[in-house]
Amino acid sequence: MRIPRGALPALAAIALIAGACGGDPVATPSPSPIVSPAATATPGSTVIPFAPAPFPADGTACGTPGYAGRLGRIEAVDATTIQFTLCAPDGAFLARLAHPALDILDSSSIERLAVDPGATTLAGTGPYRIDRWVPGENVALARVDAKASDVARSPLVVLTWDGDPAVRTSSLTEATVDGIDAPGPAELDQIATLPELVVTPRPGMATAILAFGSGPAFAGARVRRAIAGAIDRATLTATAFPAGSLVPTHLTPCIVPGACGGRAWYDFNAPAASAVLADASFDLERTYPLHVPDAPLPGLPDPLGAAQAVKDQLAANIGLTTEIDVMPAADFRAAAAAGRLDGLYLDGIASSVADASGFLEPVFGDGVRTTPARRASGVTTALVAAAATADPEARAAAIGRANTAIRSSAVVVPLAHPGSVVAFRNDVDGVATSPLGLDPLGAATPGDRPQLVFQQAAEPAGAWCGDQPSFDAYRLCGLVFEGLYGFAAGALEPQPRLARACTADATATVWTCRLRSGVTFGDGSRVDAGDVLATFVAQWDAAGPIRSAAAPGAFAAWDELFGGPVNAGG
């Protein structure tokens, strides 16, 4: 079912908007929705009294056999104080807290999810609430406050979905929706001919890389730097990666705060590269392997297409001949991790942690045994220094040193930051995108219409971000729930939300968060440290009722943020 332009999807929503706008509801009749019995109203308040408590109940998870996660212990000290003890220093902890998977539910909602994993009428503290969810059709989010705010201008935000980008584009061109996510290349060509539509890029949290494998051919940094300068990355990004992709200046996307200290990457200069290779007596008579996986990887959406583009450039620019070797993805990943790939290979890095460590540690962190990690010098030391402090300037300086070491050694070449786009009607003001999928739809103003309708690819599998891995889910739950920290619209600088502040000790190992006072959930219960503890434990404890019953991969975000659950052995 499509929502007619200007129509409201439920009579209750019509009444809400009429009251909020001080006028008559729009004349276009609304279709009669099939209302989900489980999603007709916010549940009544069930207050669980606060009681101080830690998890684990006795001691710390650090050092537990089979556990290699970052988090050691969480303690609800008092109603407004929650303390996190980590297993190692982590200056990026605030960036982790700001991830939408860590949005806080009240304790009663956690108990409810343990019994009813599909519950959608969960109480949040965000600017919108779920007014109605019609499975398979749409979700209507009603503004909590009658008065508009910077993050909630539209009285109603309606999410619909269709997996076919052509269908989404038709919905947009026919003006039955105000905006769509991820039109395909053919659809973008169509949109470009229509002045009433506007395309907005969404920068990606990913990087495609060319890596130098084992063997003596690429053992010298001077040779690697020459080859790095022989690739026209601007052309490569434009032709071999999706619309919305950016040319990297550093390994980490520069949308990440403090990530791009140090000198930018080498400019394209094929003649200079050829001269260096000739001076180094590099063997251009040989054919070198260029390994790629047979399936997309995070950060590498089209391995074979990118490989062919790199192959063609190396041959045309410096006369370097490569042969593409397509490997089963699992075999490719294992060989790369063990440093067994010779010649050249393409890989991808993706992170949902809005910090440079999310990109650099998987490639150069302590214990990484890839060929690039073994050949790089000084990167790991700089990353350790960045992790050991919560001071933004000190962390940025350390990351800058890491970037300089990566550039100097040239063990990998950042090729592109793959991205995507959204498209809206041109009378929609305030459009912004989020690299994490937290598109601030409520901040947009859809002309003179009292609702904003947005069509995405898929229906969210649930209302809680904690067990959802997709942008389509984050777009919804990011409007309904808040975490201790969050992000401003279109930005990645962690900002306090439910917390007044979270501060670290001198080692960045113990973090203490003080909650804002007087904040309540939509069900009327007051936010306290017990709710924070319950929300975190629900994801962290593999033996708990929520995580133990979840489908594989449901808590992938937690595992990326903190390295996995405790009690995974049962």
| Three-state secondary structure string covering 247-302 | CCCCCCCCCCCCCCCCCCCCCCCHHHHHHHHHHCCCCCCCEEEEEEECCCECCECC
Contact at 8 Å (CB) between 566 and 540?
yes
Question: What DSSP element (H or E) covers 140?
Answer: strand 138-143
d(CA 159, CA 178): 10
Tokens of 152: 């909630």
Q: Domain 206-416, what fold?
A: Dipeptide-binding Protein; domain 3 (3.10.105)
d(CA 472, CA 477): 9
d(CA 81, CA 500): 10
Q: What is the DSSP letter of 513?
A: E
Q: Would you write out the chain's pLDDT as a tens digit for each of its 570 residues?
A: 333 333 333 323 333 333 333 333 332 333 323 233 333 344 444 578 899 999 999 999 999 999 999 999 999 999 999 999 999 999 999 999 999 999 999 999 999 999 998 888 899 999 999 999 999 999 999 999 999 999 999 999 999 999 999 999 999 999 999 999 999 999 999 999 999 999 999 999 999 999 999 999 999 999 999 999 999 999 999 999 999 999 999 999 999 999 999 999 999 999 999 999 999 999 999 999 999 999 999 999 999 999 999 999 999 999 999 999 999 999 999 999 999 999 999 999 999 999 999 999 999 998 899 999 999 999 999 999 999 999 999 999 999 999 999 999 999 999 999 999 999 999 999 999 999 989 999 999 999 999 999 999 999 988 999 998 888 999 999 999 999 999 988 889 999 999 999 999 999 999 999 999 999 999 889 999 999 999 999 999 999 999 999 988 899 999 999 999 999 875
Question: What DSSP element (H or E) covers 446?
Answer: strand 445-446
d(CA 335, CA 329): 10
Query: Which amino acid would we find at residue 391?
Result: D
Domain boundaries, the chain: 11-32+137-197+422-458, 53-115+480-562, 206-416
User: How many CA atoms, within 13 angstroms, populate the side-chain half-sphere of residue 564?
Assistant: 11
Which positions ≥6 away from 334 have C-beta within 8 Å?
A: none
Contact at 8 Å (CB) between 177 and 37?
no
Q: Taking phi first (over 0 means left), then psi (-120 to 50 degrees means alpha), and beta for anything else, what does residue 149 get? A: beta
Closest C-alpha among 354, 570, 566, 561 to residue 465: 561
Contact at 8 Å (CB) between 128 and 143?
yes
Cβ-based neighbour number of residue 220 at 10 Å: 15
Contact at 8 Å (CB) between 462 and 120?
yes
In terms of CATH architecture, what is 11-32+137-197+422-458?
3-Layer(aba) Sandwich (3.40)
